[in-house]
Amino acid sequence: MQKTANLIVAALAAIAVVSPFVIFMALPVFDGGVFRQVETVSVGLHVLASATAMLLMLLTTVAPAAVSHSISKPALWIAAIAALGALLATFGFGDDWRRSLHGTMEHGVGILWHLELAILVLGFHVAWRDRPEWRVAMALGAPISVAICAILHLTKPVWSEGVTFTVYDFPEYIGINALFAAVPLLALRRRWSVAMAITIALAGTVVAANRSVGLALAIALLGIVLARRCHDQRKLSQAAASLAVAATLAIAVALPLLAPVFQGVAISSVSVAPGIPSTAPIDHVAIATKPYGTLWQRSVTARLVAHDVLADPAHLIAGRGFGAFDTVAQTRSREAPGRRMQTPLPTASLAYWDGDQKAAFHSHNALLETVLSVGLLGGLLWLGFVYSVGREIRAWRPEAAITFLSAIVVGGSLWFFVNAAAPLIALGLVAVLNPAARRSGPLVQPNLNSVSLSSVIMTLGFGLVSICFAAAAAFAYSAAAGARFERAFVPLPAVPAGVCSGFSAVSMPSHELNAQLYRVMLRRIEARPDQLAIVDLAMLRNNIASYSCLMRSYAARGDVLGAMTSLDARWRLAQVLGSDNPILLKTLSEDFAFWGDDLDLYLKLAPGRTDKVIPFITWLDAEKRPQEVVAAVGRFLPRTIETDPVRHWLLAKQAQALGDKRAYQTAIKRALELGLANLMPIDLAVVRSFFEARS
């Protein structure tokens, strides 16, 4: 039995050593899904979690004490978040249980991620407590993985045309992971390991060039200096835990309140920018480029989350499921100051919130994200996790725990963790849990013939978890491989009218995958419109028809992403196709015919997104349908408020259709003053014609 237990523990140690390298499944060679940085990595993580759970099941049958003694409070807090998310999803709370299970496909942190993190912590803890050689090997895997990621990021070797051989588009992840990778090395407390820890932490901070990473490192160093002066174990751990919780809570509360403060500072000494017609002072300052610009953007993001959870008691109590920030960003982005276009334009606001285009998948604050996902109770569970980590600080060797705690509190409050960080977090946490690596007893207990109820429950539980993660890995692989195949947009079979066909995967958020695939196809059409004449029109027609049908069906079920993608696609295709592709335009005839009805449905889902009215009215105007323009204005005008530039733009279009030139000029000027150029491109000459005195 001893030999069997040793083999199982050795296998757990091997998984711990190789686990940080799962990130390399994000390399182009493993290209799959729509977001390879997340989807292919998820497959590897699920396999690791399944194997770890299976080994824990086997170990429980021969050495239950080895497992029970490795159960820790931080792991239980994380598992509780997963359990709460699963419970809420089971009873129908949240926007979509599939998305909550996996998290948004661009991020990969959902119910499964929290559960596999808890499983990895337990399995790695068993191995960490066993032998010194396992601890050394486990401590080396993470920094080697991070170092390779940094080298690939700096050298950017070319994989194929337009594709670099890197795993991360953002170096900030490397910086955060470097801090976690330093923790096991610090826990070893050997000269070479401490030197390596310092090197990897500093190098990661330099590569990241991110102030959140630098702040986390600085706080860790300060905390270590202060902790080494305290020799009272109980007071130190209590103080560290309390400060960590207080800091986490304070940042989450303060973040939504900071944006107006930063805006007030930014506009205090700003003059009117030539060419920008908006009278809003914030539109005349590039606040995102200020020293506090990034923090301002994070504050705007936090405000959207706060507004959403406070606007609906159900969201505050039960959350909206993991991955819900994508929906919040889509429905509430008009609340953010500045322009909606990522590319600066001469007449548009200088202010820009990056969450509108490229960061609409996470709130950049772990506590707020957890509350948004699983409600207030989930937020308390996250604070419980932070507190439990703080209580693990040891007065005689605080370096590892304080570094880990700083990375969790600062990195989690001002940045976020993608799914690939799970193994590094798990390795860092087990080093914190047992810095001295003292075994609490032999792996195999002498009374093997007695089977306790707890060991039976643990065995069955680990077996079930192993099966679940094996199935999740299979489903995730099927989805990633299928989405990769779909990205080729091979000819889809024609389907009867009203019947939608598209990509689907078991237990996966297919609506999100199909929406992203449709966007990929639209980008390709826009990039090479000259190729439309020589491509297989039947193939393209069937694909457009299928995705169009799917998006409209999603919208009918209340899916904001599907509704928005459907509306955007009509406008984008109408611009690209023009009148030169009547066959393809005919494919969208139903979309164009019901554009107004679908827009009306979308505004019920996202009342603040009246900017989506602009493309529809513009299309009607281009089609020379003045009567329909007037009817559409009458239909959507009641959905706007007096300070909405869309309202005055609608009044201008109505006046234009009726031939009232003076009313048109008055309305369009007011729309420009309220920020119309932030919602749609406005030529500088048009602005100057109305505001010659200001230019």
Tell which residue, 292, 215, 281, 309, has the closest CA to residue 258.
Answer: 292
The last residue of one of the domains, among 557, 582, 604, is 604
pLDDT 10s digits, 247-285: 999 999 999 999 999 999 999 877 777 889 999 999 999
Q: Does residue 393 lie in a domain region? A: no
pLDDT tens-digit readout, 137-153 = 999 999 999 999 999 99
Identity of residue 618: T
Q: Which helix (H) or strand (E) holds 267?
A: helix 233-267
For residues 81 and 388, the answer to whether their CB atoms sit within 8 Å is no
Please check the confidence at residue 246 and state whether its pLDDT lies above 90.
Answer: yes
- Residue 293 C-beta-side C-alpha neighbours within 13 Å: 16
pLDDT value for 655: 92
The total number of structural domains that make up the chain: 4
DSSP-assigned letter for residue 129 = T
Query: Does residue 441 register a pLDDT over 60?
Result: no
Report the length, in residues, of the chain.
695
Tokens (6 digits) for 548: 């169009």
Phi, psi of 481 (to 5 degrees): -65, -40
Is residue 437 over pLDDT 70? no
* 658-672 tens-digit pLDDT: 889 999 999 999 999
Say whether both 22 and 75 belong to one domain.
Answer: yes
- The verdict on 261 and 282 lying in the same domain is yes
For residues 7 and 146, membership in a common domain is answered with yes
Question: Does residue 694 register a pLDDT over 60?
Answer: no
Task: Let me know whether 535 and 501 are in one domain.
Answer: yes
For the record, the structure tokens of 484 come out as 């990769």
Same domain, 436 and 515: no
On whether both 81 and 196 belong to a single domain, the answer is yes
Query: Based on the domain organization, do 201 and 304 belong to the same domain?
Result: no
Which pLDDT tens digit goes with each residue over 324-346? 998 999 899 999 999 998 888 99
Lowest-confidence segment of 442-456, 468-482, 483-497, 557-571 by average pLDDT = 483-497
Cβ atoms of 609 and 636 closer than 8 Å? no
414, amino acid identity: L
The values of phi and psi at residue 339, to 5°, are -80, 160
Q: pLDDT by residue (tens digit) across 462-498?
A: 999 999 999 999 988 888 887 776 665 554 444 455 5
Are 186 and 270 within one domain? Answer: no
Q: Which domain holds residue 112?
A: 2-210+415-478
Q: Is residue 388 in some structural domain?
A: no
Question: Does residue 400 contact residue 128 with C-beta atoms inside 8 Å?
Answer: no
The answer, yes or no, to whether residue 695 has pLDDT greater than 50, is no
Residue 500 lies in a domain: yes
CA end-to-end span of the chain, whole Å? 85
Q: Where are the alpha helices (DSSP H) in 557-676?
A: 560-577, 582-587, 589-593, 595-605, 613-622, 626-636, 645-658, 661-673
- Please compute the mean of the pLDDT values over residues 507-532 and round it to a whole number: 80
Do 555 and 442 reside in the same domain of the chain? Answer: no
Q: What is the reported pLDDT for 268?
A: 84
- Residue 674 tokens read as 């309220």
Distance CA 104, CA 33 (A): 13
- Beta pairing partners, 164: 158
What are the C-alpha distances in Å from 178 to residues 279, 280, 330, 678?
45, 42, 33, 39
Residue with tokens 């990897």: 200
Same domain, 262 and 352: yes
Question: Does residue 232 form part of some domain?
Answer: no
Q: Which of 574, 604, 634 is the last residue of a domain?
A: 604
Higher pLDDT, 106 or 487: 106
Tell me if 324 is assigned to some domain: yes
Residue 447, pLDDT above cutoff 50: no
Tokens found for residue 645: 């530039």
> 124 and 20 in one domain?
yes
Asked, for residue 617, whether it belongs to a domain, the answer is yes
Evaluate whether residue 378 is within a structural domain: no
Q: Is residue 236 part of a domain?
A: no
Residue ending a domain, choose from 583, 604, 625: 604
Regarding whether 425 and 309 lie in a shared domain, the answer is no
Per-residue DSSP letter, 164: E
